[in-house]
Amino acid sequence: MRWSSPHTETASLASDEPAAIISATQGFLTALSTKSRIDFEKHCVRAGGMSLSPPPPTALRFCTIGSFVEHISTLKDAIDERIWDPEVKVHEAGNLAAVWAPFRAKINGVVDHVGVELFVLHKIDGRWKVTGLADSCRLPTVEEMLLE
């Protein structure tokens, strides 16, 4: 198995693949902010799985992306989650990718938690879609509370 990062070109992969993969993850995060089921449908597969590790002492949680979407769509709080410095890995066959990135989440304008997210994506009908997501997060430090 061979992987490609956004910083290295691989002859068997289109050079725009990493950008398309990042676009799908950003679309997922935008849907999280808008809480729109329609926006989520564009960027993910509802049957996909999630493992979410909230700050202690809350236990690790598992759910489908679909059940997560249904829960998020009922929330009234403003959610703003951002990633940076994403590492993109693409399988040489070009149909499986992963994005690993640090993130911060603001709830109602206040940094609530920070950590790392792992997106798993598959190329379905020519488009990248999030089919799995895992995170590990913790409460922010004083400095991290200032993150945009």
Q: Count the alpha carbons within 13 Å of 28 in the hemisphere toward its beta carbon.
A: 26
Asked if residue 82 belongs to a domain, the reply is: yes
Task: Tell me how crowded residue 4 is: count the other CB atoms within 10 A of its CB.
Answer: 21
3-state secondary structure of 88: strand
Lowest model confidence (mean pLDDT) among 7-16, 108-117, 135-144: 7-16
Q: What number is the average pLDDT over the span 71-83?
A: 98
Q: Count the alpha carbons within 13 Å of 142 in the hemisphere toward its beta carbon.
A: 0
What pLDDT score does 63 carry?
99
What is the domain range of residue 112? 3-137
How many domains, in total, are found in the chain?
A: 1
Across the chain, the runs of DSSP E, i.e. the strands, are 3-4, 44-53, 61-64, 79-83, 87-91, 96-107, 110-124, 127-138
Query: What's 15's DSSP letter?
Result: T
Q: 65, 44 in Cβ contact below 8 A? A: yes
Asked if residue 111 belongs to a domain, the reply is: yes
pLDDT at 5 > cutoff 80: no
Asked if residue 26 belongs to a domain, the reply is: yes
One-letter amino acid at 96 equals: L
What pLDDT score does 13 carry?
54
Average confidence score pLDDT of the chain? 92
Q: What number is the average pLDDT over the span 6-13?
A: 44
Residue 140 tokens, joined: 């922010």
**Rounded to the nearest 5°, which phi and psi values hold at 114?**
-135, 165
Asked if residue 146 belongs to a domain, the reply is: no
Query: What CATH code is carried by the domain that includes residue 8?
Result: 3.10.450.50
One-letter amino acid at 36 equals: S
Asked if residue 83 belongs to a domain, the reply is: yes
What pLDDT score does 4 carry?
46
